[in-house]
């Protein structure tokens, strides 16, 4: 078994002027022979990972990202940095839904930075985030790909605790996603979801759906054939659409609950994983618990 280097986070800023958690996690993976190994793990605050798992064999390292407080409150600042070396293959997910809690005024933030070297594959598939009524926050994801690197990323948002009949009537969640390959933008997206905004119910917005989801597949071999394979897979609940951009497949979904959206995204992922990542789909076991 490869040892994991635990290193300090002296280079991470920590501003204690505002109330709230400060949490940083940095993970570095390398391909060593036939095995993808977690070679460096550094963290500060309540953001950690469990031991690496290998349900698919040594080539793919499955990692569970754990945030013990289970959610982001006003003033919290969370940062995640992933670095994959050449030919490394990582699947990262979470043990359950994340939460953006109601804020009394301060905004929270989660910034995710992912760097994948030539030939690497990063499957970044956290479970859904539940945005409580009155939440204030920013969710930013920045991905840097080199050469033939592959990124598969999913994001699902549930506005309000729908099981309790809650809607997102106040608050704000700002979203920012950037994917670049060799320094050139592949996907840039910015938006703001305002609680009670007309956009939440408008046909050009979320059309009244409390749950929205996006799946991005950035790979050099994304082509019309993979797009057609996606078009043949229709959601059983809610509405979905797929698009092809140069080197990028995009899927969007709107619906009433998280489960049918996750099921559709999983079917899409299954259809393209052999072509873009060279392996059949392996659903993380934690999704079934």
In a domain, 20, yes or no: no
Give the structural domain span for 114. 33-276
Give every CB contact of residue 87 below 8 A, 6+ residues apart in sequence.
31, 118, 119, 120
Domains held by the chain: number? 1
Query: Does the pLDDT value for residue 69 go beyond 90?
Result: no
In a domain, 255, yes or no: yes
In a domain, 97, yes or no: yes
How many helices and strands (H and E) does the chain possess? 2, 18
* Mean pLDDT for the stretch of residues 56-76: 92
Residue pLDDT, tens place only, 138-171: 999 999 999 999 999 999 999 999 888 899 999 9
In a domain, 75, yes or no: yes
H/E segment holding residue 97? none
Residue pLDDT, tens place only, 272-289: 999 999 999 988 888 877
In a domain, 162, yes or no: yes
In a domain, 37, yes or no: yes
pLDDT at 287: 86
pLDDT band at 17 (very low <50, low <70, confident <90, very high): very low
Q: What's the Cα-to-Cα distance from 286 to each of 9, 62, 98, 125, rounded to whole Å?
A: 29, 11, 14, 12
User: Within a 10 A sphere around the Cβ of 236, how many other Cβ atoms?
Assistant: 10
pLDDT at 12: 42
In a domain, 133, yes or no: yes
Among the listed residues 52, 47, 7, 55, the one whose alpha carbon sits nearest the alpha carbon of residue 32: 52
**3 state DSSP class of 149:** coil
Residue pLDDT, tens place only, 83-134: 999 999 999 999 999 999 999 899 999 999 999 999 999 999 999 999 999 9
Among the listed residues 110, 98, 95, the one whose alpha carbon sits nearest the alpha carbon of residue 141: 110
In a domain, 217, yes or no: yes
pLDDT at 63: 96
């Amino acid at each position: 078994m490869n040892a994991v280097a635990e290193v300090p986070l002296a280079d991470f800023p920590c501003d204690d002027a505002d109330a709230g958690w400060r949490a940083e996690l940095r993970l570095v993976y390398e391909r060593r022979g036939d095995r993808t190994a977690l070679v460096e793990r550094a963290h500060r605050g309540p953001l950690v990972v469990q031991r690496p798992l290998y349900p698919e064999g040594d080539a793919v390292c499955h990692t569970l990202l754990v945030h013990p407080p289970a959610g982001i409150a006003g003033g919290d600042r969370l940062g995640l940095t992933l670095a994959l070396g050449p030919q490394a293959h990582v699947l990262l997910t979470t043990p359950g839904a994340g939460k953006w809690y109601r804020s009394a005024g301060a905004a929270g933030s989660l910034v995710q930075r992912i760097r994948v070297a030539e030939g690497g594959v990063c499957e970044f598939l956290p479970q859904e985030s539940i945005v409580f009524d009155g939440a204030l926050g920013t969710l930013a994801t920045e991905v840097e790909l080199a050469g033939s690197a592959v990124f598969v990323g999913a994001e699902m948002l549930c506005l309000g605790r729908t099981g309790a009949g809650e809607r997102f009537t106040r608050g704000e969640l700002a979203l920012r996603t950037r994917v670049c390959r060799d320094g050139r933008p592949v996907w840039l997206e910015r938006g703001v979801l305002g609680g009670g905004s007309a956009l939440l119910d408008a046909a050009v917005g979320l059309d009244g759906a409390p749950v929205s989801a996006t799946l991005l597949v950035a790979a050099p071999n994304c082509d019309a054939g993979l797009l057609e394979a996606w078009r043949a897979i229709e959601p059983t609940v809610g509405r979905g659409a797929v698009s092809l951009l140069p080197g990028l497949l995009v899927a969007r979904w709107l619906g009433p609950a998280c489960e049918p959206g996750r099921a559709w995204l999983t079917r899409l992922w299954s259809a393209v994983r052999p072509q873009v990542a060279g392996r059949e789909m392996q659903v993380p076991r934690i999704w079934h618990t």
